[in-house]
Structure 1
Amino acid sequence: MEKSEASAIDIAESGRERKGKAALLGAAKNARAARHKRGVAIFDLILRISAAAAALAATITMGTAEETLPFFTQFFQFQASYDDLPTSTFFVIAMSIVTGYLVLSVPFSIVCIARPGARGPRLLLILCDTLTVTLATSAAASSAAIVYLAHNGNSSANWLAICQQFTDFCQRISGAVVASFITVALLIFLVLLSALALRKH
């Protein structure tokens, strides 16, 4: 009788030990998952700030692109400015919106760092990031086409290349387009990162 009671106590104690070990393993696994999500959120914040800086650089560079060539007298001059081209005007407006959004999204990214398990902010970010990628891509692609024509022209349409004359202007708009494509690449990576973070939930 005493042996059966002792064995029952041993079995109960071993069961409690197994449950305790399982609880400890579960807690360790949850802690690792939380650290992983927090690391993803920190990387998201760094990429978001970098994308905002690239978008701001593209906006300022395009918005200040202007060059004047004197011809005989100061009263008769050739001038090139970004607002002469509707595509460049759209570029400045679109990249300004992208910059503003990225700056406003930083607090939500910080919330994801403080609360790595929060699903709502991450869903909002991935939705808005996807829309922003579309806007930034359309601005970058349309301006890239204009920059190509400025550098090479189009003999079929009798469009002359202007970059041989307006070298500074072309360098600035080309730099703006490069910065905008960097922004697009970072935004795509942000969308993929958010999708990965949601998948880990």
Structure 2
Amino acid sequence: MESDKSGGETTIRIQEGRSDSKGNAPVVAIATSKASQHSKGRWRKGIAIFDFILRLGAVAAALGATAVMGTTDETLPFFTQFFQFEAQYSDIEAFVFFMIANAIVSVYLVLSLPFSIVCIVRPYATAPRLLLLIFDTIMMALTLVAAGAAGSIVYLAQNGNPNANWQAICQQFDNFCQSVSGAVVGSFIAGMILMKLVIMSAIALKRS
């Protein structure tokens, strides 16, 4: 500020100060915002890629469980062709339900792959992620219910129930029990993967 007196008049000159810090603040804020958005986009894209990989694993597990259960059949080598003991999945309703449920889940997982790819290409899209979350939850419940029902039958086949006078049949039908046990394990793996997908989708939507 300068004071100049001339002709009885006083003139006060005020020089405008420049604040580099204030002038540069918006630039820094914009740069920080862009960096945050870029980091957030990379994080969401990474989640989407991991989602796609997990879906491939769930497809393999569900399809494997369906195929193994659908081809499970064992006939005891003794007795004649007119009098034989045979065990197959279609004799037990829980195993039939298991195979149908896992087949439905397998088809769904295959159809969900394009939506997972959309989430990779467009990591900020919430509609496909929300759709996957809803149907993943339904298919997770279906898979775990089917695996639990079949698992209870496998347990009875292996151990029996003396109180109900149910005999264990796995000592005779060993291959049959091994096949259905492997199918149940594969179904539980698919269910656990679907559970992880549900959690990942919920986290991604919450941080969107």
Aligned residues: 198
Say which structure is richer in helix: 1
CA distance in 2, matches of 1:97, 1:162: 29
CA distance in 2, matches of 1:102, 1:72: 44
Query: Partner of 1:99 in structure 2?
Result: 106
| 2:122 is aligned with 1:115 | yes
Query: Partner of 1:142 in structure 2?
Result: 149
Give the residue type in structure 2 aligned to 1:151.
Q
Larger CA Rg, structure 1 vs 2: 2
State the 1:51 CA deviation: 0.8
CA distance in 2, matches of 1:4, 1:45: 65
| 2:136 is aligned with 1:129 | yes
Which blocks of at least 5 consecutive residues in structure 1 are unaligned? none
C-alpha contact 1:70 1:76 (8 A) present in aligned 2: no
CA distance in 1, matches of 2:160, 2:64: 26
C-alpha contact 1:55 1:95 (8 A) present in aligned 2: yes
State the 1:149 CA deviation: 0.5
Q: Deviation per CA, 1:94-115: give whole Å up to 9, x if none.
A: 0000001111011111111111
Query: Partner of 2:164 in structure 1?
Result: 157
1:19-168 to 2 correspondence within 5 Å? 19-168=26-175
State the 1:16 CA deviation: 3.6
CA distance in 1, matches of 2:188, 2:30: 48
Give the 4+ runs in structure 1 shifted more than 2 A: 1-6, 13-16
The 3-state SS of whatever aligns with 1:131 is helix
The 3-state SS of whatever aligns with 1:67 is strand
Q: Which deviates more from structure 2 when the two are superposed, residues 14-23 or residues 45-54?
A: 14-23
The 3-state SS of whatever aligns with 1:172 is helix
**Taking structure 2 as the reference length, what is the TM-score of the superposition?**
0.91
CA distance in 2, matches of 1:16, 1:77: 92
Give the residue type in structure 2 aligned to 1:194.
S
| 2:25 is aligned with 1:18 | yes
CA distance in 2, matches of 1:72, 1:126: 53
Which blocks of at least 5 consecutive residues in structure 2 are unaligned? 3-12
**Taking structure 1 as the reference length, what is the TM-score of the superposition?**
0.94
Give the residue type in structure 1 aligned to 2:99.
V
